[in-house]
Structure 1
């Protein structure tokens, strides 16, 4: 462009108009900028070589918009992909200082929380009416650091050893060849796992299709340890009880709801909180002394079992209220990184084999999905100072601000805190790879079935029996024998709907021991 052209009247008029527009903009709104803070002059048209030429590579606004758009999604969670989150607070209401030094449970203490509800096996855009366990994960921002209680709406799980978890999830996911749902795949896998039938019963009952997140209970599923100031250990399970009442959809209601709203659970929660109808849950604790573990008929650290209330009564220890929806779903609900390994002094994992694997896998998947510095994101940041030698990595926000990034050091104190010491566990024997020896796979499932109303039993038999009918004969009859062993009426009803051979079911059941 020549100097005379640049200085022509039209150019000066154009610059004057732009200056006037910027002044008008500054009076009414903040300027549009790129990520580096520089203002954007034109967000409507790409920069081109003349009126008909190609787009220029130097149009940094175009490049940045496309780059950022291409990267709007982090990898989808392998499980718990579809989720809904909300902020709230938890207030401890009971004195359990004899059990734990955890500050979150000091009577009268109120801690901020973020809860993420989710479906477990279905993808991020699946209808919320689909039959699925539901995740119930709570991040407590405590005075000791963040504690994550990562559980489900069911108090039990399908398997008891983490080494089986990848296979279980693969079996529950779509067929890798067709990408179609095929429940016969999960039935084939579970036919080798009689310990799964209690959770399978819950899944195919109406509890597998909740009416809303507000209307379901939650459970830690696993046992944890509470440690007091004398180092004494108690084994505990945590259970959330909804104060809105438990409500589920029966098969007919599922069809009606899905026809008009595939996001009914998310919509219900958001709408209720927006209206000020804040949902609440009471937190209950079951406590078992270390020396009492051997007295159970089954292994009490088996994630496929509940602790019956008549054996281990619950005690209310606090209440949680959810009172604020996220300002940005991606930054909060999707970037929140829940992991059972986020524990605080006074709370420790038990020797539950499934939990032991989750301690690694959950934290590892968050590092893969979001990055090594995911804990520095606002939704994951603890409310207390972080002080360690971890440094660098993707999305680093400056954890290392001094020259000493190691410990111990005579230049700078980073002292260990005695209250953060782990409890001690007495051990004996040898290393092994063997199943647990107190399985009792069937008794609790029979008790669960008999606790249902007549209608709930009928819905369960029709729903589960219909799915079993689609399964190949060998897997079907093995599963039917498990249910028959749990309760004869339950097994007979399923066998009839699944079009199985009752004599074969009885013969297989006779070979089973509980």
Structure 2
């Protein structure tokens, strides 16, 4: 095999990578040592801003295969034929901690899928829970600040966490998920993924349907107790990354079965709660799961930084037949995610291999130009305006999805339009579904954090939420908190 030659950034061969150039033996370093200066300067710039949320992540490539006919609900080309395969990249993540945080912690997990479809990239950005803490994007920065490190103590503070939740009753449902048995997945392979938001599908006839995505793990659900997680995080902070990497390297390829819940658009206005509220689920008795296909991961990235850290997902990357809903949190994320990547990676991040659409030879075909790290090449006759007379790309005049029928969900201060559109009903239903052992662990997890809060009024506000969800739920949490504080 031919020996590779070490080069500078300009491609010139490097004569000596062990010793800096000096003025004579033992003399001072010389400014003319271009390789040294370039090496140190580049080293200083190796890090880019990490994600504010979902900073700690792992990813892998694979494919999605359609197993069931859903053409009656969407005209998306990658879903139009049973047996059709589409390449995917999936990034898992924890939400609250920084890039150096441990994997085995009590935290929601990101579950972001990039489908490299024949009509462009489709990004489905979700979590391992079907609901979230807040329902309005204006609350999102404050929520994340309350979960991040305190600006004075430099650590996550129970006072901040529970104080925000005390003033956000809609978080009660997600708290019940997070503090329950599924709050700490044993690995990324052993958890479900959810689109969480409500999306809109449109079929070839223009009929609109609202949908929710459910990726059910085929490995089975496996979770850790708080005690097990503390041990794992201490012995291997990269436990989830290690597990995913080694499983795929061994050929044990993890997979998920995709199901969707489907609601005809006309039913949304009269449903018993707001179907676009991210703090709520659609009961399966109302809208049963309908199988769509199977997602398999079978190839690890060659470079974690290039392909996982620089992978950019945005929920506004739709394809024909799929679009947004009036979900307020989704509407906010349509801007926020893409803007975060423009800040972190630059305006040309879609030219990176992991983000570039495979549907268009040479990458996206539009009139964007220049900017940092612009790599797109084209003909000398290409123009950067439209319309033009030189054969440039033109619009299709075909909407990706049907116009949204908002049915009164846009009013900023509108009264609830649905019979059970409150913050506690579904949290109580989730609690009542649990076994006695699951309830005991849930109560212990909540009390363990809430008992550390120093303000009595914050504790009382949170207790009122659990009482409102279910009287027995509230009573047990209250008694557990009192016992811990008095003990």
State whether TM-score is above 0.5. yes
Which position in structure 2 is the counterpart of 1:20?
none
1:195 and 2:174 correspond? no
Instruction: Please say which structure displays the higher CA radius of gyration.
Output: 1
- Asked if the contact 1:389–1:400 (Cα under 8 Å) also holds between the matched residues in 2, the reply is no
Within-5 A mapping of 1:479-498 = 479-498=462-481
Root-mean-square deviation over aligned CA pairs: 1.8
Higher relative contact order (CA 8 A, sep 6+): 2
2:245 matches 1:270: yes
Give the whole-Å Cα distance in 2 for the aligned partners of 1:328 and 1:188: 40
| Selected match of 2:7 from 22, 33, 37 | 33
In structure 2, the residue matched to 1:391 is: 369
Q: Distance in 2 between matches of 1:147 and 1:334?
A: 19
Corresponding position of 1:134? 109
SS in structure 1 of the partner of residue 189 of structure 2: helix
Deviation at 1:429, TM superposition (A): 7.5
- Contact 1:284–1:317 (CA<8 Å) still a contact in 2? yes
1:404–1:412 contact (8 Å) kept in structure 2: no
Does the 8 A contact of 1:89 with 1:112 survive in 2? yes
- Contact 2:383-2:392 at 8 Å conserved across structures: no
Q: Name the TM-score, length of structure 1 as normaliser.
A: 0.89
Instruction: Tell me: CA distance 1:160–1:430, structure 2 relative to 1, closer, same or farther (3 Å).
Output: closer
Query: C-alpha distance in 1, partners of 2:221/2:473?
Result: 23
1 CA distance for matches of 2:107 and 2:12?
47
CA shift, 1:430, in A, is 11
Tell me whether 395-404 or 318-327 shows the greater mean CA deviation.
395-404
Check conservation: 2:5, 2:13, Cα contact below 8 A. Answer: yes
Give deviations 1:319-357, integer Å, cap 9, x for gaps. Answer: 001001110000001000011011111110111000000
Structure 1 residues 372 and 205, CA gap change in structure 2 (3 angstroms): same
Aligned counterpart for 2:52 among listed residues 71, 78, 87: 78
Find the counterpart in structure 2 of residue 6 from structure 1: none
User: Is the contact made by 2:198 and 2:212 (CA closer than 8 Å) also made in structure 1?
Assistant: yes
Q: Which structure 1 residue ranges, 5 or more long, are not aligned?
A: 1-26, 502-514
1:119 maps onto 2:102 in alignment: no
Indicate whether 1:236 and 2:218 are aligned: no
Asked if structure 2 preserves the Cα contact closer than 8 Å seen for 1:87 and 1:113, the reply is: yes
Residues 1:415 and 2:394 are matched in the alignment:
yes
- Deviation sequence 1:467-505 (CA, Å, 0-9, x none): 11122211111111111111122111100111199xxxx
Distance 2:73 2:410 in 1: 31
Q: Deviations over 1:223-251 (max 9, x none)?
A: 00001122211000011000000011112
CA distance change for structure 1 residues 248 and 33 in 2, over 3 Å: closer, same or farther? same
- Which residue, out of 340, 346, 356, partners 1:365? 340
Q: Give me the whole-angstrom Cα distance separating, in 1, the residues matched to 2:119 and 2:383.
A: 24
Q: For residue 212 of structure 2, give the secondary structure of its aligned residue in structure 1.
A: strand
What is the CA deviation profile of residues 442-469 of structure 1, one whole-angstrom value per residue up to 9, with x for unaligned ones?
1111111122222221111111112111
Contact 1:283-1:317 at 8 Å conserved across structures:
yes
Which runs of no fewer than 5 residues in structure 2 stay unpaired?
none
Counterpart mapping for 1:46-85 below 5 A? 46-85=20-59
Match of 2:151 in 1: 176
Which residue does 2:452 correspond to in 1?
A: 470
**Shift of residue 52, structure 1, vs aligned partner:** 2.8
Q: Is the 8 A contact 1:134 1:153 kept in 2?
A: yes
Per-residue Cα deviation, 1:252-293 (whole angstroms, up to 9, x for no partner): 222332332222111111111111111010000100011111
Q: How many residues were matched structurally?
A: 475
TM-score with structure 2 setting the length: 0.94
| Equivalence for 2:64 | 90
Aligned match of 1:14 = none
Contact 1:391-1:399 within 8 A present in 2 as well: no
Whole-angstrom distance in 1 between the partners of 2:49 and 2:407: 43
Q: Which residue does the alignment assign to 2:118?
A: 143
Q: Secondary structure at the match of 1:307?
A: coil
* 8 Å contact from structure 2 (residues 8, 14) kept in 1: yes
- Which among 435, 438, 448 is matched to residue 456 of structure 1? 438
Matches for 1:195-274 after TM superposition, within 5 Å = 195-274=170-249
Residue of structure 2 in register with 1:320 after alignment = 295
- Runs (4+) off by over 4 Å: 426-432
* Per-residue deviation, residues 52-101 of structure 1 (Å, max 9, x unmatched): 32212221111111122111111010000000001110001111111111
> Is the 1:477–1:500 contact (alpha carbons within 8 Å) kept by the matching residues of 2?
no
- Report SS of the residue matched to 1:91: strand
SS of corresponding position for 1:463: helix
Q: How far apart in 2 are the matches of 1:248 and 1:159?
A: 25
Range 120-129 or range 110-119, more displaced: 120-129
